[in-house]
Amino acid sequence: MILRQIIEIRTNHIDDLNAHLDAWLTRTNGQRIPHQVVVCRDRDVENVYLMTVEFAWHAIGMTNSRRPTTGEFAAFLTSLCEGPLRFRNLDVLRTEDL
C-alpha cells in the first residue's frame, strides 16, 4: 500500500528550505530510497507550507525515516520552523485520474 506523508511547516524561510533541499538532493544522489517529494504553499495561511512525501509502500517509508540523512533533513526543517513540525502518515486507499 502506498504511504503518503504530509509534513506541515510554518516558516518565513522557504528560500532556505528550497536551497537546503537542493543541496541535500545533490549530496545524497544515488543513496536515497526512491520516492517523490512535493512542496506546496498554503494559499490561505501565510508562511505555511506542506511537504508531501510518497513511498511505494509503508515499509519503505519507515526504513527511510530511520536513515541518518533523513534525520539530518528533519532536524534542518525543525530549525527553520516557527513551532513544531506536524506530521500525517496516510495509507493511500484509492487514486483516480479524472
pLDDT confidence of residue 8: 96
Q: Residue 49's pLDDT is what?
A: 97
**Rounded average pLDDT over 75-84:** 91
The Cα–Cα gap between 53 and 31 comes to: 17
Cell, residue 71: 534525520
| Rounded CA separation 69/64 (Å) | 9
Residue 78 lies in a domain: yes
Range(s) of the domain holding residue 30: 3-91
10 alpha-carbon distance from chain centroid: 13
Q: What does the pLDDT look like over 18-70, one tens digit per residue?
A: 999 999 999 988 888 878 999 999 999 999 999 999 999 889 988 988 999 88
Nearest by Cα to 4 from 69, 50, 42, 68: 50
At position 66, the amino acid (one-letter code) is R
CATH number of the domain encompassing residue 47: 3.30.70.100
Residue 66 lies in a domain: yes
- The total number of structural domains in the chain stands at 1
